[in-house]
C-alpha cells in the first residue's frame, strides 16, 4: 500500500519569499512521485515528477523537488514566490508498475497563500 502525507494544510508566505511544501510518502516499492497544482474550479496541472532518474527534479514555473529516500520525502520548493503561485498543491505517489492501471494516491493538499 502507498500513502502520502502533506505536512501543513495551509502555508502562507510573502511575495518573494521561499516556498516550501512538505510531502512524505510511504511505499512498499520504489515509487513514482508527483506534484500537482490546482487553481479554483480547475483540474490538476503537473508541476513535476520523479521517476527514478535524477533525485533533484526541476519542474515548471520555477518549482523543484528533491527525492530523499532516507527521509521518504519529496518536498516542493521555489526560491521566490509570486502572487500567481497561490493555489492548492497536491503531492501524489504511484507504484512503479508500467501498466496503465497503476493509480495515483494523493495527499490531502496544501493551500498556498502568497501575501503582497
Partner 1 sequence: GAVVSQHPSWVICKSGTSVKIECRSLDFQATTMFWYRQFPKQSLMLMATSNEGSKATYEQGVEKDKFLINHASLTLSTLTVTSAHPEDSSFYICSARQFTGTGYTFGSGTRLTVV
Positions that interact with partner 1 (CB under 8 A): 32, 34, 36, 41-46, 49, 51, 90, 94, 98-104, 106-109, 111
Nearer to partner 1, 101 or 116 (CB): 101
Q: In sequence order, what are the beta bridge partners of 102?
A: none
d(CA 53, CA 111) in angstroms, rounded, equals 28
Nearer to partner 1, 13 or 92 (CB): 92
Least distance between partner 1 and beta carbon 79 (Å): 26
Q: Which residues of 65-95 are buried (b: 16+ CB within 10 A; e: fewer)?
A: bebeeeeebbbbebeebeeebbbbbbbbbbb
Nearer to partner 1, 12 or 102 (CB): 102
Residue whose entry in the numeric block shows the C-alpha cell 510573502: 14
Least distance between partner 1 and beta carbon 87 (Å): 13
Nearer to partner 1, 111 or 113 (CB): 111
Cell numbers that stand for 99 in this block: 501498466
d(CA 82, CA 100) in angstroms, rounded, equals 35
Least distance between partner 1 and beta carbon 50 (Å): 10
Least distance between partner 1 and beta carbon 100 (Å): 4
Amino acid at each position: 500500500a502507498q500513502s502520502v502525507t502533506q505536512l501543513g494544510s495551509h502555508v502562507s508566505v510573502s511575495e518573494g519569499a521561499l516556498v516550501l511544501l512538505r510531502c512524505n510518502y510511504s511505499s512498499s516499492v520504489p515509487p513514482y512521485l508527483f506534484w500537482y497544482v490546482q487553481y479554483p474550479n480547475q483540474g490538476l496541472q503537473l508541476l513535476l515528477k520523479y521517476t527514478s532518474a535524477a533525485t533533484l527534479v526541476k519542474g515548471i514555473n520555477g518549482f523543484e523537488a528533491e527525492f530523499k529516500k532516507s527521509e521518504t520525502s519529496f518536498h516542493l520548493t521555489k526560491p521566490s514566490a509570486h502572487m500567481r503561485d497561490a493555489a492548492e498543491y497536491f503531492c501524489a505517489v504511484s507504484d512503479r508498475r508500467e501498466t496503465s492501471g497503476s493509480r495515483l494516491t494523493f495527499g490531502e493538499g496544501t493551500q498556498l497563500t502568497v501575501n503582497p
